Structures are given as structure tokens and as C-alpha cells.
Structure 1
Amino acid sequence: MKGDDSKRHVKIIVPLEQDEDGYPPVGAERLWALPIGEGRYQLDNIPFFARNLAWGDVVSAVPEEGAEEGVLRFDQVLQSSGHSTFRILVHDEPQVSELCELVERLGCDTERSHLPRLVAIDIPPGVPLAVVRQALSPGVSQERWEYEEACIGQPEVE
């Protein structure tokens, strides 16, 4: 959670579709969000498994039937934040810190998953995707990690 006003946060459940290999390892992801009125919420953490969602996106959500108060079900993205989400699977757990430092130096934020080798990266609009890809490339070619571009929220710059 990137924000610090935890009293106002709600949880939004995003249903996930698992592939034939059982990925992602959960059937739904719970994301923190801030209510901004009229059934609209601004996401306040980096998704680990949900696709096409990024920190700061404005989404609609409805109360989740049978859930505790403050838990909602994702409906749709209403407005992109312009942020992008990459997910990185680090093959050797001790290198997770090195990876986080690398992308944070570029101006990105990171969140570590409950899965020790999985890192979610928030790429703000001011950080070119090409720069992040270039920084990640040596680790991919050396088979230290692999990554997925889960949400591209900013225009690609040639």
C-alpha cells in the first residue's frame, strides 16, 4: 500500500482466471483502494497477479456479497493512471534486493509478494518503459530473472 491513510482504504477483490498450470496460484487478488465517490475507487497498491491494472487507476466496484464491510468486487477500469505494472520472478531469492534497488534507482516503486521471489513494479508515467526494459535485459539474458508486462498504462515512446 503506497498511501498512508489506512482508515479510508477498502479492499477490492479482482477475480483471476487460472491457466492449465494453475497460474496465478490464487483465484482472486485483493487490492487496496481509496474511495473517491460515486462507486469509484483509486487503486493504492501494485497488483501481483491481476492483469491490465496499475497503481492509481480509477475503477468501479460493488459490494461483495457475503463479505465483511469494506470489501468490494472489481467491476471495470474507469480511468487509467498512466502507470504501468511489471512483475518479475527472480530465480535466486538473494537477488530480490538487487533487483528492487535497480528499478527503484530508475524511479519505480516495488512491492514484494508473499511469494519470496515475486516482485511487482510500478512504473510511473515519467519513466520510459524502454529504460526499464533495458535495465532488466541483462538479468533476463543471464537467467537471473524473468518478467511479465502485466499492464501498459502509458504510451510507448519510440
Structure 2
Amino acid sequence: MHAYVSLEQDEDGYPPFDSEELDVELRHDGACTVVGVPVFTNGIAVDDIVSVVQTEDDDRWWVTSVLLASGHGTVRVVPFAETTFEEVVAELEAIGCAAQGTEHGLVAVDVPADVDPGALDRVLEAGRSAGRWDYDIGVPVGATE
């Protein structure tokens, strides 16, 4: 199942979309569990439980709020120069993250709550300092609000 999140674009038109489709699973209580890593959405991570509402005009389900944060983090990495998606994924998987390259030129990263935040910071900053990538954090590890 999919649910959608409205996105706010900056003055440069980023992100390149006004909404993002998230992979979710419907729960017995009518809420949804996020199962796919958000690529552009801030404030939502894998395993978060979100409320959804179906709109009459387009028949899609839209996320209205996070009901329960999972403690997972979300990071987006943009590889530079000769750095490949596979290299970024391997480095992040080595510390316990789940990562995947996207068609949008970035790597979407799920950071489980048990990943050492210090190790994550070291890997991310080492890549940034070496000019291999830049990154941003959509949800800090351990965030519960």
C-alpha cells in the first residue's frame, strides 16, 4: 500500500516533487506502519506508525501525522565524483544501516535505533570531509517525537 506526504519545496524547487509516495502497511487499527525509507520526507522514518486519511478528490491515502515514532533515523546521502551508490551502501551497511540507491541520485538510508550514533556520524563526516558525498538527516537516530 502507498500513502502520500506533502513536501515543501525551497526557493530552488527542491525537492523536485510536491509530494512523496511512501510504502506503508495498513494496521488493524486503521493506522499504517512505514516500511520503505522516505527519500525526501523529513520527520518520518521506517517503522513509524502514521495516521492516514483518504481524500475524496484523488482517492489516495495521505499521512496526517506520526502517531508513534520508531526511533529509527533517516539519512540521505548524495555521492560525488567517483563514489558509487554501492560504495556508500556498503559503508553504511557495515555499521548496521539499511541503504539503497534511488533514481533521484541519492542513497536513502534507514538507521535502526540500535545503530551507534557516533559510528554513523564518523562515517558520514569522513565521506563529507573527503569530498566523497554530502548528506542530510531527515530524522535523527533515536528521535521519538
TM-score (ref. length: structure 1): 0.85
Structure 2 residues without counterparts, runs of 5 or longer: none
1:108 aligns with 2:97: yes
Determine if contact 1:54/1:153 at 8 Å carries over to the other structure: no
Q: Distance in 1 between matches of 2:23 and 2:93?
A: 21
| Number of matched pairs | 143
Q: Deviations over 1:4-25 (max 9, x none)?
A: xxxxxx1111000000010111
Q: Distance in 2 between matches of 1:94 and 1:129?
A: 23
Identify the match of residue 8 of structure 2 among 7, 17, 23.
Answer: 17
Alpha carbon RMSD of aligned pairs, Å?
1.4
* 1:74 Cα offset (Å): 0.8
Determine if contact 1:80/1:153 at 8 Å carries over to the other structure: no
1:78 aligns with 2:67: yes
Q: Distance in 1 between matches of 2:100 and 2:55?
A: 26
Q: Distance in 1 between matches of 2:55 and 2:109?
A: 28
* 1:94 Cα offset (Å): 4.7
Map 1:1-158 to 2 at 5 A: 10-68=1-59, 71-92=60-81, 94-115=83-104, 117-154=105-142
TM-score (ref. length: structure 2): 0.92
